[in-house]
Amino acid sequence: MTTALITGCTSGFGEAFALRLAKLGYRLIITGRRKSRLERLAERLESQYGRPVANLCFDVRDCKACEKALASLPPEFSRIDLLVNNAGLAAGASPFDESLLDDFERMLDTNIKGLLYMTKLIVPQMIERKSGLIVNISSIAGVEVYPGGNVYCASKHAVNALTKGLRIDLLKHGIKVSSISPGMAETEFSIVRYHGDEEKAKKVYEGLSPLLAEDIADALEFIVTRPPHVCIHDMLITPSQQGNAYISHREVRTVTP
């Protein structure tokens, strides 16, 4: 049975990835910081798909915690064939000069360093077996920059550079490296970005039909079901009403009396 480790499974894309990979027959390692959500998802995966699930509760910003969590895996989960680096966030959407240093650090530490720690820890066993697949969840923000996107965009540009660099360096070891670059998707992303302000978060998607986590799970399914000789470099996906990182066509809402 093929084993996948997905970071950030307690909501949004990560949860949808876990459900999709379980449906495809994977043995799963689900991770995140919110333990109760991980336990609930593990129960659902086991009861709905009958798949073995290990859940690891840790913060990807803490290298030692990543190491300890991986070392705690039971032997049947220790061979990881697919790593999905999904855990990430945007914190704030203000112009650079009005943004908080703490938000910058959270984004850089999670989106870049968390991805690096997990990849560095899991790649050696893939090299040993001369096979493996790494899928990094990037963003349209990794391709373009928009007002107020500053450090989030920088972090996702870094994810894209790392994806390309890893692909080149790991070629000789038979390891494939892909990325998915979604545009606007309604998950908990905007709630986190606006520091828990649900009203502000809702406004982001007003007048358009955003992507759903399942749309991005479709992309992951496409990548993981390619034959060994095919590597998908990147999939850039937006809602039909989104033209680029900052231009969307929103329907005007009319209020009927």
Catalytic (active site) residue 49 = no
For ligand NDP, the closer of residues 39 and 173 by Cβ is: 39
Measure the CA–CA gap between 31 and 11, rounded to whole angstroms: 11
Distance of closest approach, residue 214 Cβ to ligand 8X3, in angstroms: 17
Rounded CA gap, 71 and 130, in Å? 21
Q: Three-state secondary structure along 173-222?
A: HCEEEEEEEECCECCCHHHHHCCCCHHHHHHCCCCCCCECHHHHHHHHHH
The one catalytic residue in 26, 49, 152, 194 is: 152
**3 vs 139 by CB, closer to ligand 8X3:** 139
52: partner contacted, choices ligand NDP, ligand 8X3, none (Cβ within 5-8 A by kind): none
Nearer to ligand 8X3, 140 or 162 (CB): 140
Provide the mask over 39-68, with x wherever binding to ligand 8X3 is found by CB under 6 A and - wherever it is not.
------------------------------
Subset of 123-182 contacting ligand 8X3 (CB under 6 A): 139-141, 149
Nearest-approach distance from CB 67 to ligand NDP, in angstroms: 14
Question: Of ligand NDP, ligand 8X3, none, which one does residue 245 interact with (CB within 5 to 8 Å by kind)?
Answer: ligand 8X3
Region at 87 (left for phi over 0; alpha for psi -120 to 50; beta for the rest) = beta
Token pair recorded at residue 254: 């009319």
Query: Does residue 252 sit in helix, strand or coil?
Result: coil
Q: With respect to ligand 8X3, which residue has the nearer C-beta, 122 or 185?
A: 185
Whole-angstrom distance, CA of residue 163 vs CA of residue 159: 6
- Nearest Cα neighbor of 105 from 146, 35, 157, 154 is 154
What residues make contact with ligand 8X3 under the rule CB under 6 A?
Answer: 139-141, 149, 183-184, 245
Active-site positions read 152
